[in-house]
A and B are shown apart, each in its own frame.
Chain A
Amino acid sequence: MNMEVDIAGVTLKNPVMTASGTFGSGEEFSEFVDLNKLGAVVTKGVANVPWEGNPTPRVAEVYGGMLNAIGLQNPGIDVFVKRDIPFLKQFDTKIAVNVCGRSAADYCEVVERLSDEPVDLLEINISCPNVKEGGIAFGQSAKSVEEITREVKKYAVQPVIMKLSPNVTDIAVMAKAAEAGGADAVSLINTLTGMKIDIHRKAFALANKTGGLSGPAIHPVAVRMVYEASHAVKVPVIGMGGITDAEGAIEMMLAGASAVSVGTANFQDVTVTEAVVRGIEEYLLLQGVSDVKEIIGAVR
């Protein structure tokens, strides 16, 4: 059985990746998960300089999901390059570095720094709803999506995945804008902006008031958007949003995703990523399908 998929010329041993921000740079989870078994590890977003992130509480549970407003806390590219990349290089998996920034120049600086590093893919986060500058500000108009993509591509050596926000009127338009700007792939969805109020304290559950909704609650929204985006563009679509098991991953691939990322489910079960890989294999066996690529976009 062939589990390999191709993302912009990079061959992943299987279509299962981690979703940025839920898996650190893999070190903490490597105590529970064999990283060699994953298609790729997508790191938590890294900026040109360290970011402190938002005040706490940063996370809150909601029915079937969670809200987070971490605020892209990260150690900055210098520490990341020195510590996190060498850590991940010990494993036989692809490395996708998620890049965040407050300005186009910030993104480009990080991308340029990574040009001679042994990373396989760059995922550009233009969809974080929890920071005042950068993040989603770049991801909510087609014009700025295209512009930031084009700018980043000038400096990028590795293939560029633009991570899109679901907090838009038409995801197809954004996917097309990324493609027009030269994106090698798009990934979606990032979190949906949400809010939770503690009725006893009469206060917001998160210090940031709003946060990104993730988890199984958003899965049907993600499947729909992956379907729409994959029909709008020729570049590969990486699907994510509420995948908790192989079924959710397969659904996403049938909708058109060439690979998938598992995120919030890592909190519910630290070993879930490996289980998703196994589950996809079992499904293919049961269906008599010899190549996982056959299921990509099979439901039209």
Chain B
Amino acid sequence: MAEKRKERGTVICNNEISKGIFDMWVSTTEIACMAVPGQFVMLYCEDGSRLLPRPISICEINPDGCAIRLVYRIAGKGTEEFSRLSEGMPLTLLGPLGNGFPKKEGASFIIGGGIGIPPMLELAKQLSGEKQIILGFRDVQFLTEEFLPYGTVYIATEDGSAGTKGNVLDVIQENGLTAERIYACGPMPMLRAVKEYAAGHNMECYVSLEERMACGIGACLGCVCKSKEVDGHTNVKNKRICKEGPVFLAGEVEF
């Protein structure tokens, strides 16, 4: 069983890198040493009226410096509270949670869409083999340049302001890209399209899903997704995104 810890971390820095998107490094003692790409942490609000922790994907891991990077979007009052944290302030977190991306050999597409891009950065860093990194944005880009050292980066924007006008699959088509495997995280419509593309091209495809969560550790059954087969734990066709996921083989889950 993967180990996880509840820790009191300290904010190293927390800056807005794009409208409503924040980039925070947090020093932790053990979480940074245990985390793998694709895992997430739960962040707890200090304001007691907000009970539930917020699941945030891990963008980068610095085990030597005992720190993790979290790039998150303000989606409500909890993330708004986090955005006001500044250097030196304490933050309670639980993690690392869930299962990350399996690191396989061979040529891969690393596909990220919107706020699904951050977890792909640590994956891009740790994955070996040929990597074609395809990032989809509505309009304004973030983190793009940080992917450059790890593979060939392609951009899709919905408004055509940069890269291919359209979505991540348009990028693959336009550039005639091929790979053996896909790793993807992003909005549901993107993941559905990627899953269909992978099935059509007989490619192995790993997707990272998200859902509203309460406990984050597999106890409350709040964050399930439909699975193709009866799940070994739940004994029904539901898998817990926080525990069996958030990364799944696209073919084992229905979305």
Contact = CB atoms under 8 A, between A and B. Distances in A.
Contacts of A63: 49
Contact of A267 (B4, B51, B225, B236): B51
B155 interface: no
B191 to A, nearest CB: 15
A267 B53 CA distance: 7
A29 B222 contact: no
B219 A23 contact: yes
Contacts of A57: 211-212
Interface in A6-23: 21-23
Given A59-B212, A60-B212, A73-B221, A268 B44 contact: yes
A70 B222 contact: yes
Contact of B51 (A32, A65, A70): A65
A230 B82 CA distance: 43
B1 to A, nearest CB: 8
B-side interface size class: 35 or more
B220 interface: yes
Nearest to B3: A31
A24 interface: yes
A250 B189 CA distance: 49
Interface stretch (A46-54, A88-96, A275-283, A289-297): A46-54
Interface in A236-276: 244, 264-271
Q: Interface residues of A: mostly helix, strand, loop or mixed? A: loop
Contacts of B6: 32, 270-271
A61 interface: yes
B235 A58 contact: no
Interface in B31-63: 44, 48-53
A64 B51 contact: yes
Contacts of A29: 217, 219
B223 interface: yes
28 contacts: A23-B219, A24-B219, A28-B215, A31-B217, A44-B221, A53-B221, A56-B211, A57-B212, A58-B212, A58-B221, A59-B213, A59-B220, A59-B223, A61-B51, A64-B51, A66-B52, A73-B224, A73-B236, A79-B235, A216-B48, A266-B215, A267-B53, A268-B44, A268-B51, A269-B44, A270-B94, A270-B217, A271-B6
A22 B221 contact: no
A267 B220 contact: yes
Interface of A: 21-24, 28-29, 31-32, 44, 50-53, 56-61, 63-66, 68, 70, 73, 75-76, 79, 215-216, 244, 264-271
A64 B234 CA distance: 30
Contact of A64 (B1, B49, B78, B221): B49
A271 B212 CA distance: 22
A56 B225 contact: yes
B237 to A, nearest CB: 7
A22 B51 CA distance: 13
Contacts of B243: 28
B238 A73 contact: yes
Contacts of A66: 51-52, 214
Given A22-B219, A268-B44, A270-B6, A50 B235 contact: yes
Contacts of B211: 56-57
A235 to B, nearest CB: 29
| Shortest 9 CB-CB contacts between residues of A and residues of B | A75-B235, A24-B219, A59-B222, A28-B219, A57-B212, A28-B217, A52-B236, A268-B51, A28-B218
Nearest to A61: B52
Given A267-B51, A267-B216, A269-B44, 6 more contacts: A44-B221, A52-B236, A58-B223, A61-B50, A64-B49, A268-B51
A24 B233 CA distance: 12
Contact of B222 (A52, A68, A216, A271): A68
Interface in B132-181: none
Nearest to B243: A28
Interface string B193-221: 00000000000000000011111111111
Nearest to B78: A61
A76 B235 contact: yes
B116 to A, nearest CB: 18
B236 A75 contact: yes
A70 B219 contact: no
Given A59-B214, A75-B236, A264 B224 contact: no
Task: Kindly name the residue among A24, A70, A267 whose own CB sees the greatest number of chain B CB atoms within 10 A.
Answer: A267
Contacts of A267: 51-53, 214-216, 220
Contacts of A266: 215, 219
A145 B221 CA distance: 28
Contacts of B78: 61
A213 to B, nearest CB: 12
A32 B7 CA distance: 11
Contacts of A244: 48
Contacts of A56: 211-212, 222-225
